[in-house]
Amino acid sequence: MLDLPDNATYFYEQIVDSMKNLFLILGFVFFFNNAFPQGGKVIESLTFTSKSGSKMNYSVYLPVDYSTSQRSYPVVYLLHGYSDDETGWIQFGEANRIADKGIAEGKIPPCILIIPDGRLTWYCNSFDGKINWEDTFINELIPYVEKEYRIRQKKEYRAIAGLSMGGYGALKLSMKHTDLFSTCVALSSGTFTDDEIRTKSDKEFEMYFAGLFGKNLQGEARLNEAWKANNPLDLLHSVPLDKLKSVRFWIDCGDDDFLYIGNSALHVEMRKLGIPHEYRVRDGGHSWGYWRSGLTTGLEYIGEKFHR
């Protein structure tokens, strides 16, 4: 040690001790950040261009070990609600945080989330051919992203989930394409009975459905072929039962949700037809708080199929 006055020696020792503590803290931070990575990666609002020239935005969640591994991952296609876009599930639903937590706790296996922009399409093709969202998603976007990212390209590793309009989309897409999806999670799905559609006000029907299923329709005329080809309650009777039974369904709607009638009817009809499914009614309404908690359990349910 240097030959210093007593006071100087004291301050010198304090500085040395402080430096030692600083190095210990920096070492701990380095170890912690490497031993316990902070979370997965989110890439928002990428653009896919279809063969027809139409564009579809989508966001991606990659699990925390994606950049350090060479493995391929299961995938969940996550559909947003009416008036949202491909950023809603991240911004409001905190889907990345929920996935990070579930993966870290071992409740769900590491997986990739793909969140497409469904705009106001209800994830459908329109009756007049002007909107081809479903065709673009099924025939072009899915094959594209499953080559762009390291995604396992088998039904057992592919699931679909959504809320409200996205819950409707998840149901009808998994029912129409039973060869693609192993599991469907529908939260507060926009599923309507025939009576609900017949009696909707003209203003409401025109606003939400006319551009997709037919304009200036009233009463029974609304239940046309375009509607039936996409309505989950009708698909239960038009898709072969053995194919429907090859998909695992999770249906969850709050006891205060205005969509409870259609979701309850779906559960009852599936019970009548002997289609295995899980049906949950929890305390809550049509809100992000309900969907965040629903996504937590929904991803766990999906993860059961991804595991063996």
**173 and 32 co-located in one domain:** no
**12 and 127 co-located in one domain:** no
**45 and 31 co-located in one domain:** no
Q: Higher-confidence residue: 1 or 296?
A: 296
pLDDT tens, residue by residue, 33-82: 444 457 999 999 999 999 989 999 999 999 999 999 999 999 999 999 99
**3 and 93 co-located in one domain:** no
Residues 83 and 186: their CA atoms lie apart, in Å, by 18
Q: Enumerate long-range contacts of 101-104, CB under 8 Å, 24 or more apart.
A: 101/296, 102/296, 102/299, 102/300, 102/303, 103/40, 103/63, 103/64
| Nearest in space to 37 (alpha carbons), one of 63, 6, 71, 73 | 63
**153 and 115 co-located in one domain:** yes
**83 and 145 co-located in one domain:** yes
CATH number at residue 85: 3.40.50.1820
Domain count of the fold of the chain: 2
3-state DSSP call for residue 66?
helix
**192 and 150 co-located in one domain:** yes
**29 and 118 co-located in one domain:** no
Token representation of residue 2: 């240097």
Q: Can you give the residue range of the structural domain that contains 4?
A: 1-36
Under the banding of pLDDT at 50, 70 and 90, the label for residue 19 is low
**296 and 220 co-located in one domain:** yes
- Residue 138 DSSP label: I
pLDDT tens, residue by residue, 73-120: 999 999 999 999 999 999 999 999 999 999 999 999 999 999 999 999
β 41-49/55-62 pair status: antiparallel
pLDDT higher than threshold 90 for residue 24? no
HSE of 85 in the Cβ direction (CA atoms, 13 Å)? 9
Residues 220 and 213: their CA atoms lie apart, in Å, by 13
**262 and 223 co-located in one domain:** yes
